[in-house]
Structure 1
Amino acid sequence: MGHGHGHGHGHGADSDRRYLAAALALLVVFMAAEVVIGLVANSIALISDAGHMLTDAASIALALIAMGMAARPARGAYTFGWKRAEILSAAINGLTFVLLVVYFVYEGVRRLVEPPEVKGGLVLGTALAGIAVNAVAAWLIARADRSSLNVEGAFQHILNDMYAFIATAIAGAVVWLTGWGRADAIAALVVAALMAKSAYGLLRDAGRVLFEAAPTGVHPAEVSAAIAAHAEVTAVEDLHVWTVTSGFPALSAHVIVRPGGDCHRIRRELAELLHERFHIDHTTLQVDHVPGTACRIARAADRPAAGPPPAGITS
C-alpha cells in the first residue's frame, strides 16, 4: 500500500485573500451608489446590475470564508479537512445566478410589454462607471489563483457583471438619444442570459466534484489501461479517480502483479507514471501478487514447540 501527495496552489493563500478583499470593498461601495441611482433613474437594467453586483459581493465574501475553512488542517472525522468548502461556495454562486435569472427575465419581459420612462443619461453615466469598477475588480481577482473553482466562481461573477454594464451602457445611450425605453428591458434580458451561461458552467463543474466524477480530461479507462500496460501488472481492480477539491485529483486502485514481482518497486513506478502522464499525485495503490502466489501465513500448529518461532509471513 502506498500513498503519494502533491497538491496545492501556485499562489499564496494570503495574497489571494488580499486580492479578493480589495475587490469586495470596491464592489460594495459602488453597489450602494448604484442602487440609489437605479431607483432615481427608474432603470431595471441598473437595478439588475446592482443585484448582480450584490451576488458578486456575496460570492467574494463566501469565497473568503471558504478559503479560510479549506485551510483548516485535517483532524478527527474530517480526514481531508474542509477542502470541499470551496466547491460548495462555487455551487451556491451558481444557484444565486439561477434565482437572479428568473427574476430579471420576469421583470425584463414585463417592462417590454409596459415600458416605463427611463432617464437614459443617468443610466449611461452609471454604467460607464460600473464598467471601470468591474474592470479593476476583475483584474484584482485574476491575480489570485483561478485554478480554484471557488475563486473562478467569483471571477465569473465579476466578468459577467462587466459585460452586463456594457449592455446597460448601450441601452442607456439608446434611451438617452432616441427615447426608446424598451432598450433598458432588453439590456436586463441580456444580463439574464449572461448569468444563465455562468450558472451552467459553475453548477456543472461543482457537480462533477461533488458527485466525485473523474477530473476533466482524465478518463478512467485510459488510466486503467496505462497501469495495466506495465510489464509486471496482470490486472487492475477497484479503480477510482476523483477530485477532492480544485487542483487536488486523487486515485485509488488494487493492482495485481506477476509472481515474484517487487511490489514496492512497481508501486513507485506506477505512482511516477500517474504523476507524469495524468498529473495525479495523491495516489493510494494496493499492490499484490497473483492470488495463490503472494504469501502464506504459518499456522500455529506448524511451529516448533520450543525455540524462537519462524518468520510468520513468507513470500
Structure 2
Amino acid sequence: MAHAHGHGDGRGRGHGPGPVGGAGHASSGTGDAADHRRRLAIAFGITATLLVAQAVGAVLTGSLALLVDTAHMLTDAGGLLLALTAAQLVLRPASNRRTWGFRRAEVLAALAQAAVLLAVGVYVLVEGVRRLLAPPEVPSTELLVFGVIGLVGNLVALLVLAGRRSASFNLRAAFLEVLNDALGSVAVIVAAIVIATTGWYRADAVAGLVIGALILPRALRLLVETASVLLESTPPGLDLDEVRAALLDMDHVEGVHDVHASLIASGLPVISAHVVVQEGCFADGHAPRILDDLQRCVAERFALPVTHSTFQLETPEHARHEPGHHD
C-alpha cells in the first residue's frame, strides 16, 4: 500500500460521497453559483453608477470624505467585478489538470479585495490627519446631496446581497464593501450637516477618518481568513483532536496518523487520514465497512460536516515502516 492521499483503489483507500475525480465538485451547487453571479452583477451595476455620480460630486465639492468614499467605491466596483469574474469561473467544470475546477478563484478574488481595501484604509487615515491640520472649505449642500444619493444606492445593493452574504467568500467580501460604502455615505451626510450648521470644515476630515476606521478592521479580518484558506489551515468548526479521537474510538481501528484538513472554497472542506486497522480486516472483507464508517463519522459527527474525505487503510506492519509517517 503506497503512502499517498488520493482516491481509492477499492481496498485500502476511499473517497467520500461525490463523483470520483473531482468532476462533480465544480458543478455541484451550480444553481447557487448562478444566483451568486446574478446578485453580484446587480450590485456591480449599482456601485458602478454610484461611482460615476460620486466622482462628479468629489470634483465639484473638493470634499475629502466624498473623495475617499469615491475611492473606496472605486475599489468596491473593481472588487465586485473580480467577484463576478470569480463567480463565473466557479461554474467551469473540473478537468484532469484542475481537479477542483476554479473553486479557489473566489478565495483569490476576496484576498485581492481585502488587500485593496487595506491600502485605501491606510490612505484615508494619512490624508484625514493632513486635512485636520489644514481643512479646506467644502460646500455643504452639494456634499449632502451626493451623500444621500450614495446612501440610497448602497442600501439597494445591500438588499440584493444580504440574503446570501454568508454563502461564499465572494458574497461576504462584496457585502462588507457595500456596507462600508453605506456607512461612508452616512459619514458624508453627517459631515455635510455639521458644516452647514456650524461651519466647522474639519468635519469633512473627521468623516474621512471614520470611513478609514470602518474599512481597516474588516479588511484585516477578510485578509486573515482568505490567507488561512490559501495556507490550507484547518477549517473553523473542525477540531482535528476530536476527529482523531472519534476515528480511534471506532471498532477495529488501532491507529490514526497523517490527518490533514483544509478548505478548498466556501462550503467545501476536505479531510484525509491514514487509518491503521487490524490485519484480519483485509482478509475477512471487513475493510470496506470500516471505510464506510469512517466517511460517515466525519460527515455527520462534527459541527462542520465533511462530505469529501479520503482515508488510506493500513495494516499495523505497513504503518511501522511507512516513509514520512507523522501524526
Q: Same fold, TM exceeding 0.5?
A: yes
Q: Helix, strand or coil for the counterpart of 2:96? A: coil
Q: Deviation per CA, 1:223-279, whole angstroms, max 9, x where unpaired?
A: 111111112211001110001111100011010112323111011011111001230
In the alignment, structure 1 segments of 5+ residues that lack a partner are 294-315
Matched, 1:186 2:210: no
1:255–1:285 Cα contact (<8 Å) kept: yes
Q: Helix, strand or coil for the counterpart of 2:76? A: helix
1:276 match: 300
2:161 match: 141
Matched, 1:157 2:188: no
Matched, 1:2 2:14: yes
What is the CA-CA distance between 1:159 and the residue it aligns to?
A: 0.8
Moved over 4 A (4+): 6-11
Structure 2: distance between partners of 1:221 and 1:158: 39
Structure 1: distance between partners of 2:128 and 2:142: 19
What is the CA-CA distance between 1:183 and the residue it aligns to?
A: 0.7
- Please say which of residues 68-77 and 210-219 is displaced more in the overlay: 68-77
Structure 2: distance between partners of 1:136 and 1:208: 32
Give 2:237's aligned amino acid.
G
Matched, 1:49 2:88: no
What RMSD in Å do the two structures reach over aligned CA positions? 1.7
**1:225 pairs with one of 227, 236, 245:** 245
Give 1:66's aligned amino acid.
A
User: Identity across aligned pairs (percent)?
Assistant: 38
In the alignment, structure 2 segments of 5+ residues that lack a partner are 1-12, 19-24, 320-327
1:266 match: 290
What is the CA-CA distance between 1:217 and the residue it aligns to?
A: 1.7
Structure 1: distance between partners of 2:118 and 2:35: 30
Q: Deviation per CA, 1:290-314, whole angstroms, max 9, x where unpaired?
A: 3279xxxxxxxxxxxxxxxxxxxxx
**1:208 pairs with one of 207, 222, 228:** 228
TM-score (norm 1): 0.89
What is the CA-CA distance between 1:142 and the residue it aligns to?
A: 2.1
Matched, 1:287 2:313: yes
Q: Deviation per CA, 1:77-127, whole angstroms, max 9, x where unpaired?
A: 222222111100010000001110121111111110000001112212221
1:237 match: 257
TM-score (norm 2): 0.86
1:101–1:193 Cα contact (<8 Å) kept: yes
Structure 2: distance between partners of 1:232 and 1:18: 50
1:177 match: 197
Structure 2: distance between partners of 1:3 and 1:126: 56
Matched, 1:75 2:101: no
What is the CA-CA distance between 1:9 and the residue it aligns to?
A: 4.4
